[in-house]
Structure 1
């Protein structure tokens, strides 16, 4: 179940996460960044460290179905039949809290969540057993939200549209039939164009780094090693003895040459999805 107040570890996304997760469907960093930018302005948490969330009263109306619960929700302004019947508040969480008191599962299913703004009722397409499980994961990290977004894209058969930059078809599948009303397709195209002008984290190739190396590439490697359980004793961008030891341990686990150097063979294994 999700943590109290919807506040978990709130771990931010790293550049390596974007590259790593994008490789699951053969998409580049620019495509993934474009979707994140349009869906959540580039971040999965709000100013209070909660997953970004939008509660949809018209979905709550549908999820509740006929009966006393729907009647109570309508009377409180929490549910109505058609989208756009009333303006949305700046913060959906107070309204969500009231909806949870009526029906917690239906309330969670009726909101879009996290980095990819995945609807709660799409939890299975995002590879979660329940909407509560999905929300709990999103409270902990933006990477979980990104991975769920990719799972949803695969489930909906939108990965090919993303790879070929068919933004109209992608927006129709990802955002629904009303995508054009909000210009999702043009926003995606514009965001992708902007990101194309920014060098990728791992372009043109993963740099070869080892003992004595410094910089962002080392920091990225340390972040990934640590996430996989190989402790570098800090993420400081300096490839010292601890990072070398963690690299060797990782290489051993991956069946690679244990030379303590992260190069063309170790990078792909390090970025590979578990």
Structure 2
């Protein structure tokens, strides 16, 4: 298992999408500082557990008994503040509803939400999670499958960072300057 995306995988993915390698690397830089795994000795993928998604997927069933894991609205204050802490939150949620918890986390280098597993080419969220554990090239492959459609692919081809940001990060992307951060990261990867 490799924790770093291979040069061959970057090149093949960019060629298949018709985009520059630097465009893909820019997304990785913004989403996960370029690496999809916890630091050694762990080899777990980076995750960020989203309790408001868990609430939605479980119809709020755990709101009363696990209010730090299930709540109706996004709340940044619920984040653990560490990579290991996010795994602890995910593990606790998996003990309540395994698949809903996996779907409620963003995963790996590209921080793909688990509920996107069908668009990433997987038949189950468990297969999606296992691919993210298998290695960095597998994380890239899931991302490529996810963005190989409009508007993602087209926005990366033309480097329309605002369109990509809105599609990938949501309509409030400008609050975090997501498009600007992508453009800056792209420029850095072109140097």
TM-score, with normalisation over the residues of structure 2?
0.92
1:114-172 CA-to-partner distances (Å, cap 9, x unmatched) read 11111000001111111110110111111111111111112453100011000011011
Q: Is contact 2:47–2:108 with CA below 8 Å preserved after alignment?
A: yes
Q: How far apart are the structure 2 equivalents of 1:59 and 1:97?
A: 15
1:27-63 CA-to-partner distances (Å, cap 9, x unmatched) read 1111111111111101111112110100011111111
Q: CA offset at residue 88 of structure 1?
A: 1.3
Flag the structure with larger Rg. Answer: 1
Q: CA offset at residue 14 of structure 1?
A: 1.1
Q: How far apart are the structure 2 equivalents of 1:64 and 1:56?
A: 13
Match of 1:183 among 166, 177, 186: 177
What secondary structure is seen at the aligned counterpart in 1 of 2:48?
strand
Q: Is contact 1:10–1:49 with CA below 8 Å preserved after alignment?
A: no
Q: How far apart are the structure 2 equivalents of 1:11 and 1:185?
A: 27
Structural mapping, 1:30-49, within 5 Å: 30-47=22-39, 48-49=42-43
Q: How far apart are the structure 2 equivalents of 1:93 and 1:114?
A: 12
Count of matched residue pairs: 186
Q: CA offset at residue 66 of structure 1?
A: 4.1
Q: CA offset at residue 22 of structure 1?
A: 1.1
1:79 matched residue in structure 2: 70
Which has the higher relative contact order, 1 or 2, with Cα contacts under 8 A spaced 6 or more apart? 2
Match of 1:115 among 99, 103, 109: 109
What secondary structure is seen at the aligned counterpart in 2 of 1:54?
strand
> Using a 3 Å threshold, how does the CA distance of structure 1 residues 165 and 129 change in structure 2: closer, same or farther?
same
Structural mapping, 1:195-234, within 5 Å: 195-197=189-191
- For the pair 1:165 / 2:159, whether they are aligned, the reply is yes
Which stretches of structure 1, 4 residues or more, deviate above 6 A after TM superposition? Answer: none
What secondary structure is seen at the aligned counterpart in 2 of 1:92?
helix
Q: How far apart are the structure 2 equivalents of 1:57 and 1:10?
A: 30
> Using a 3 Å threshold, how does the CA distance of structure 1 residues 127 and 156 change in structure 2: closer, same or farther?
farther
Q: Is contact 2:103–2:115 with CA below 8 Å preserved after alignment?
A: yes
More helix by share: 2
Structural mapping, 1:1-274, within 5 Å: 9-47=1-39, 48-67=42-61, 69-74=62-67, 77-84=68-75, 86-89=77-80, 90=82, 91-155=85-149, 157-197=151-191
Q: Is contact 1:10–1:45 with CA below 8 Å preserved after alignment?
A: no
Q: Is contact 2:155–2:161 with CA below 8 Å preserved after alignment?
A: yes
